Structure 1
């Protein structure tokens, strides 16, 4: 084997430029980058050095052969021609990786099988023995890449991927790989800051990956110093003495680095479950004297280095994956920006994010941005100089103090300010009405301005925001920006804690999707409606458990319920039943298909002191009506537009099935009774034939309070009685 070896260093996409610079510094010559890799030449000593010291590479591959491939047999012969007896003991173990396609090889498993067969056959022919396959811990890990009829056959010197340093045995939900974290720190300028005695703080440290990688750099510790098994450990071409010298040199550098005054490196994490795993990871990395982790919320983040030095704030905020994450993430970024402005003047900050548009909401101008990939997710590192000249606030005066500017909320965009103005105008008008009527829960805004297509509902001191899905003609990025404008405006306009804002996306619903659980926080909020106590859940379902637009109809039922036998079909959480009970109903019967909502209705009734004489029946409403023999004086029917629940006998369509539904319900109505029918299907038309059998009066206009006057099509309602 020649003194200089051809090497291929692989890396995550986006790290090629940084890896090229690092590899050249570690001895790689004639180096050039390509997608997710760097190629070059190096001595065996430098190949070892790259394995030991590269903070960015995934693998170090030593090229054994290159040859053309026209068909599977050509692949076999090319691999078979390599002198494998110089690389692997005849009774050793191997694993084969294959990538690429062509030359009649379109299946990676088939390609790997041909490579394995060629190696095994060669050794059996030469020695009479054959190696076995071990995919977990082989003596030799071989890789072949096939592209455009050319094969590159390599020996993997690294063994396991080099990002697996060995210290992170415990991790959070979505941690960064160690080499990606190292790349972010390098881009953020940490090595130079550390050399100058700077500090580092991570306000959302998770299990401490940024902290450990920063500590390894500051202490001059080789990232893979603690690794015990390598891809070259059982390779016959391995030179142990050469490796041992390099390893001893790295140990000496680490000892000298750790003997220095420790760098000030601190992490803060809101989730108490991650504190001990982070500390365990730090201890395994040998950096317990350098790195400390504390429990703390971003809203209280304030780094205080022992010597008062500044440095780097680095963090990787969570990515939104669940319904409603837009609000929590926006306010998280706003809190982060506020803490940087108030507590980190003179620092540098780096925010690694998969949602770079949220970086614009921090109230600080980003002066540099670097593109990365976290797996398949495009990300950016946003860099900030935390200086007052970089702050984006409402101040127009250059004479205000740095403290005043830091404490001021980030300035709203022009659109955000318009939205805030509309909210304040509506609040002034509707708030007075709500106070006078004793209304605690009402709709404040309902897509009043078409470009801000959200509904904003107040539930006491909480805000429930529903984003209507934009039409396909609207640019998704523009729609997202407008949503963020609106979310930024809500806490300022309503003077409310952002933690009390919940956001959901409302799209066209079919079947029971509108009733499906969206989260599992289980937090119920008690509200009042005309003195009646009701439970709402703002987080777990698309709807909250209380249809605000039906408030006037519920109160009408309450006024008419005295001494009546009340039937509530499709009862949902029983809010109408509660009002009827409060109004003095002799008895109530509530029917719904969902056990979850019937349990909710039971809790609502119990909250108001009702238990006896109030039946809760689970079942398909149409089927239940066929079997029930009761008679009722007051009936409320508010069906869904469409339902195909697994427990439903058939599919319910309100336009198609409303006649049969009303006829079945009217058959249970007492002679002088009244049935109220409503639904929110915008295109609904009541069958004209019903007026021939019953007295029918549309009452839609009288069932709308001022908070829904802007949207008269929110529902339609009718009063029916027997002739």
Structure 2
């Protein structure tokens, strides 16, 4: 069976879970995308995704991609495609259009132009045309517009797959079924049930978490009870393949009920939603297999026959359903007391849009996942319910340690308000741009000389050295206030905040460890995966201000030979590889950062034979005569401001030495290549003589995203080419 490309959509924040799930169906990842994944596989694997995916919204069979910078260009691309092989001439179809640009400013107009192109393709030879049907068409055409390109496909799911068919009734603020499944997977339910565990939701509402947990444990296909899918009247449909999959799903559902059946318990203090939950379970075919009871959280009891292990997973109220958010602290405290008493040794998962109340549970969270409930940012907090995880009072401060404390309420309130304001502006911008790591605050207020960065749910605080006019006692007092205010204002646990003092680093000091935690974690940036460490080094492994530079490299690296000098952790190289660079060489003096860069490239599946990282003195490498193979089409050079490492042949002073470095690097540049030169020395001036030798264009303004525009001199950046 030949292979096809599919675009599978999912809730925001679930993309990587989805890619892993799709791989089990035989669909290989082509690339990740916001709220979805591009995959490749057989039509049978696509059918399997429609039937078995617990996470997907829609499965779209990719047909083609056409240029769409104007309405006419879009139409011309659509009308030349062979729609007769997809849509029956005597059938019906509709167009689902997503996206806009300057020429196509609303989805209705875009859908109309696609529809016109499809209809005209049928009638161009005087033939009949299919009818347009908005509600229940035979075939749904998907059209997704992004950056002047229109991806066209057939929606073989036909409807959002989160709709399993059992939930015709629902309680207040229900979770969508596929988000509930994602929470179960992130909470480790498949492993827990395999170990003989049971499941409990003590605030179950309409029962979605309980029902999804049961379907997962009993190997029941989420699409098993669907009457119709979008491929059934599509002309490429293979009925015999689909029938075999349906029969296999029935067999697995039967066999799943012959094995040990765990306890699936749902409790809620509202008897009306308990009635709804029971009806939903009956429609899901789980009558007699799941149990729902009216019970308050304070009364939680799992019985004397409870399993030794299990999962308590709950989606408590977080502000929208309670008039007073302050009441939430008591609710979360009651939840913590109840599970510590009734479910010792189990795991607790709390999905909340108010993670600041998580500490009221009285347990220390060992894992947090950033997700969305609709458009609302939320977190899944995971806890082990045991004595070792119980929060204990903080020990007295060590000598020199600054403990959170507010000395001036009015001054602290100003910082609190500024952080809240920045979260509404910069934070909202970052979410829309799919950016999880960004600068929230950069000494906006002179009283608090801090840089505050968000790293995917963690907060990295850097304290700038106070000027001599500020006495040490006042500086420590204001830092203590900031440390007290930041977690509350940003809604994070104090343990997820890391604070350092920023000062000039020279020589090997800039590479020295600040700590030995070894706590690395991965973040995403424009489809790339990068390792960061907030504790062990002065910097985190990712220069946030260079995000637009890296993205530019990614968009312009196709087929290019890329050189990254003073490469640090290789983030720019990762983006070049993601953009299609044919080969790359990354150089840095630090063994630590070379190893880090190699890890980053490996995380992104870069071929080590084509993309090499070497530990070397860049000054010595540049000073040497270039070899014939040392020719590059794209060079990125971002040297440190100053370095006098003992391992270097010479001292590096970027102001003094930059012209020589640029001239040496330009000998490695191809005739039509480009070098990007950048540095963050605040008083830097580019040698004017360089503009006489090369084409030099300063592009600093275009390399600053919204989160760094308050400090326009965070770095300077130039594009340098050889004269024609």
TM-score, normalized by length of structure 2? 0.55
Question: Secondary structure of 2:325's match?
Answer: helix
Question: Secondary structure of 2:84's match?
Answer: helix
- Cα distance between partner residues in 2 of 1:217 and 1:70: 44
- Cα distance between partner residues in 2 of 1:365 and 1:68: 52
Shift of 1:475: 5.7
Q: How many matched pairs?
A: 423
- Matching residue of 2:224: 225
1:498-527, Cα deviation, whole Å (9 max, x unpaired): xxxxxxxxxxxxxxxxxxxxxxxxxxxxxx
Quick check: 2:318–2:325 contact (8 Å CA) kept in 1?
no
Question: Secondary structure of 1:325's match?
Answer: coil
Question: Secondary structure of 1:287's match?
Answer: coil
- Cα distance between partner residues in 2 of 1:138 and 1:195: 42
Quick check: 2:44–2:241 contact (8 Å CA) kept in 1?
yes
Label 1:70 to 1:380 Cα distance change in 2 as closer, same or farther (>3 A).
closer
Shift of 1:272: 1.2
Quick check: 2:196–2:307 contact (8 Å CA) kept in 1?
no
After the TM superposition, which residues 239-638 of structure 1 pair with which residues of structure 2 at under 5 Å, given as runs? 239-304=238-303, 306=305, 308-321=307-320, 324-393=323-392, 451=409, 472=417
Question: Secondary structure of 1:326's match?
Answer: coil
Shift of 1:274: 0.4
- Matching residue of 2:83: 84
1:322-371, Cα deviation, whole Å (9 max, x unpaired): 67422321111000011122221101100000000100111111111111
Quick check: 1:61–1:154 contact (8 Å CA) kept in 2?
yes
Label 1:200 to 1:126 Cα distance change in 2 as closer, same or farther (>3 A).
farther
Quick check: 2:345–2:386 contact (8 Å CA) kept in 1?
yes
Shift of 1:277: 0.6
Quick check: 2:356–2:488 contact (8 Å CA) kept in 1?
no
Quick check: 1:452–1:482 contact (8 Å CA) kept in 2?
no
- Matching residue of 2:55: 56
Name stretches of at least 5 consecutive residues in structure 2 with no aligned partner.
396-402, 424-483, 492-724
2:192 aligned with 1:199: no
Shift of 1:86: 1.5
- Cα distance between partner residues in 1 of 2:214 and 2:312: 14
Question: Secondary structure of 2:124's match?
Answer: helix
Shift of 1:146: 2.0
Shift of 1:82: 1.7
1:157-206, Cα deviation, whole Å (9 max, x unpaired): 10110100101111112011110000000000001111222011000000
Shift of 1:135: 1.7
1:416-475, Cα deviation, whole Å (9 max, x unpaired): 9x9xxxxxxxxxxxxxxxxxxxxxxxxxxxxxx97499xxxxxxxxxxxxxx99984686
- Cα distance between partner residues in 2 of 1:296 and 1:93: 50
Quick check: 2:63–2:154 contact (8 Å CA) kept in 1?
yes
- Cα distance between partner residues in 2 of 1:229 and 1:149: 34
Quick check: 1:167–1:285 contact (8 Å CA) kept in 2?
yes
- Cα distance between partner residues in 2 of 1:483 and 1:47: 45
Shift of 1:243: 0.3
Question: Secondary structure of 1:46's match?
Answer: helix
Shift of 1:148: 2.3
Name stretches of at least 5 consecutive residues in structure 1 with no aligned partner.
397-413, 419-448, 454-467, 486-723
- Cα distance between partner residues in 2 of 1:103 and 1:180: 33
1:246-277, Cα deviation, whole Å (9 max, x unpaired): 11001100111022232111000111110111
- Matching residue of 2:134: 135
Quick check: 1:452–1:483 contact (8 Å CA) kept in 2?
no
Quick check: 1:354–1:380 contact (8 Å CA) kept in 2?
yes
Quick check: 1:53–1:223 contact (8 Å CA) kept in 2?
yes
Quick check: 1:69–1:103 contact (8 Å CA) kept in 2?
no
Question: Secondary structure of 1:119's match?
Answer: helix
Question: Secondary structure of 2:22's match?
Answer: helix
Quick check: 2:192–2:309 contact (8 Å CA) kept in 1?
no
Shift of 1:291: 0.8
Quick check: 2:416–2:485 contact (8 Å CA) kept in 1?
no
Label 1:379 to 1:271 Cα distance change in 2 as closer, same or farther (>3 A).
same
- Matching residue of 1:145: 144
2:250 aligned with 1:216: no
- Matching residue of 1:45: 44
Shift of 1:219: 0.3
Quick check: 2:61–2:155 contact (8 Å CA) kept in 1?
yes
Quick check: 1:27–1:42 contact (8 Å CA) kept in 2?
yes
Question: Secondary structure of 1:366's match?
Answer: coil
Shift of 1:103: 6.6
Label 1:109 to 1:324 Cα distance change in 2 as closer, same or farther (>3 A).
closer
Quick check: 1:190–1:214 contact (8 Å CA) kept in 2?
yes
1:256-307, Cα deviation, whole Å (9 max, x unpaired): 1022232111000111110111001111111122210000101111223635
Shift of 1:321: 2.8
- Matching residue of 2:479: none
- Matching residue of 2:103: 104
- Matching residue of 1:17: 16
Shift of 1:143: 1.1
Quick check: 1:330–1:484 contact (8 Å CA) kept in 2?
no
Max radius of gyration: which structure? Answer: 1
- Matching residue of 1:161: 160
- Cα distance between partner residues in 2 of 1:285 and 1:79: 41
- Cα distance between partner residues in 1 of 2:160 and 2:150: 22
1:531-580, Cα deviation, whole Å (9 max, x unpaired): xxxxxxxxxxxxxxxxxxxxxxxxxxxxxxxxxxxxxxxxxxxxxxxxxx
Label 1:480 to 1:268 Cα distance change in 2 as closer, same or farther (>3 A).
farther
- Cα distance between partner residues in 1 of 2:2 and 2:419: 61
1:196-250, Cα deviation, whole Å (9 max, x unpaired): 2201100000000000110011000111111011111111111111100011001
Quick check: 2:419–2:490 contact (8 Å CA) kept in 1?
no
Label 1:265 to 1:322 Cα distance change in 2 as closer, same or farther (>3 A).
closer
What's the RMSD between the two structures over aligned residues?
Answer: 2.8
Quick check: 2:352–2:379 contact (8 Å CA) kept in 1?
yes
Question: Secondary structure of 2:257's match?
Answer: helix
After the TM superposition, which residues 573-722 of structure 1 pair with which residues of structure 2 at under 5 Å, given as runs? none
